[in-house]
Amino acid sequence: MFQKTRGILLKKTKLANGGLVLKFYTEEFGVKSFIGRSSKKVKNTFLPLSIASFSAYANPKNELNNIKDYETEYPLRDIYQDIYKSNILIFLNEILNHVIQEEEKNLQKFNFLIKTILELETQPLSMDFHLIFLMQFTSYLGLEPDTESKGTYFDFAEGEIKGSIPTHIHFFDESETVLFKHLYDLAFEEGISAQFTNQSRKRALQLIVTYYRYHTDMRELKSLTVLETVFG
């Protein structure tokens, strides 16, 4: 039985027969892959992080099934044309492909991603957009750090600030901890507006990526170097 759902396109893989394997993060099924075909009438139907509605049969045996009644919900343009937004889009898309794996419904996470994509499309770009997203997204992954404790060293293995140097190597030093905590405040505290300098922005990105790498299956990010160059 086909069921209507909405989805965010995470990955597109071309098949030898002209078909496509489309990996979506869906509203109803979590992460699922389906078979689709490009439309000759509508160019660029399947673009990274595009938002669409369609009917699909979610096979519990994980077999690939066709989708039908495919319709793009939002005509995203700016995030594909603006050099800064497009590089953030590529980076976020790569991040999501690494860290979202579950095949289950999670409306809060899905709605947060929809909100993020639409903000990137419609709002004036903050140069810290990608940093704030990464920090906010930790709460939907069960990884939100504890920065309330008093101390000077952030233990990213434990996800909390410590008063003394941890006995292992997985921690940020004093200056890095200050920077990481500032990123947390930007992401979660109202009334915080001070942005990063180019140098501190680059370092903050390295820190939050380090945190993700420790706690998820995220490996080398091909888009990271380009992003650092564009925003550097």
Residues 84 and 64 in one domain: no
Residues 171 and 84 in one domain: yes
Minimal CA–CA distance to 25: which of 102, 137, 119, 121?
Answer: 102
Residues 137 and 86 in one domain: yes
User: Please, which residues have CB within 8 angstroms of residue 47's CB and are 6 or more apart in sequence?
Assistant: 9, 76, 80
Q: Whole-angstrom Cα distance, residue 70 to residue 13? A: 17
Residues 16 and 118 in one domain: no
Residues 31 and 127 in one domain: no
**What per-residue confidence (pLDDT) applies to 162?**
95
Residues 114 and 225 in one domain: yes
Mean pLDDT confidence for 54-59: 79
Report CA-CA distances (Å) from 68 to 34, 52, 72, 171, 209: 10, 11, 12, 49, 37
The mean of the pLDDT values for the chain is: 90
Convert the pLDDT of each residue in 135-149 to its tens digit: 999 999 999 999 988
Residue that is last in its domain, among 30, 48, 72: 72
Residues 68 and 85 in one domain: no
Q: Which residue has the higher pLDDT, 127 or 58?
A: 127
Residues 102 and 149 in one domain: yes
Q: Whole-angstrom Cα distance, residue 30 to residue 144? A: 21
Residue that is last in its domain, among 46, 72, 98: 72
Structure tokens at 183: 């990123």
User: Please, which residues have CB within 8 angstroms of residue 226's CB and are 6 or more apart in sequence?
Assistant: 87, 90
pTM equals 0.91
For position 203, which CATH number holds? 1.20.1440.120
In angstroms, the first-to-last Cα distance of the chain is 50
Residues 66 and 92 in one domain: no
**What per-residue confidence (pLDDT) applies to 41?**
52
Task: List residues bridging with 55 in a β-sheet.
Answer: 4, 68
Q: Is the CB of residue 154 less than 8 Å from the CB of residue 161?
A: yes
Q: Is the CB of residue 80 less than 8 Å from the CB of residue 86?
A: yes
| 3-state DSSP assignment of residue 98 | helix
User: Please, which residues have CB within 8 angstroms of residue 159's CB and are 6 or more apart in sequence?
Assistant: 143, 144, 145, 146, 215
Residue that is last in its domain, among 38, 72, 106: 72
Convert the pLDDT of each residue in 196-208 to its tens digit: 888 999 999 999 9
**What per-residue confidence (pLDDT) applies to 65?**
81
pLDDT of residue 194 exceeding 70, the answer is: no
**What per-residue confidence (pLDDT) applies to 39?**
63
pLDDT of residue 19 exceeding 90, the answer is: no
**Number of structural domains found in the chain:** 2
Residues 91 and 190 in one domain: yes
Residues 36 and 126 in one domain: no
Residues 57 and 95 in one domain: no
**What range does the domain containing 49 cover?**
3-72
pLDDT over 90 percentage in the chain: 69
φ, ψ at 229 (rounded to 5°):
-70, -45
Q: Is the CB of residue 71 less than 8 Å from the CB of residue 52?
A: yes
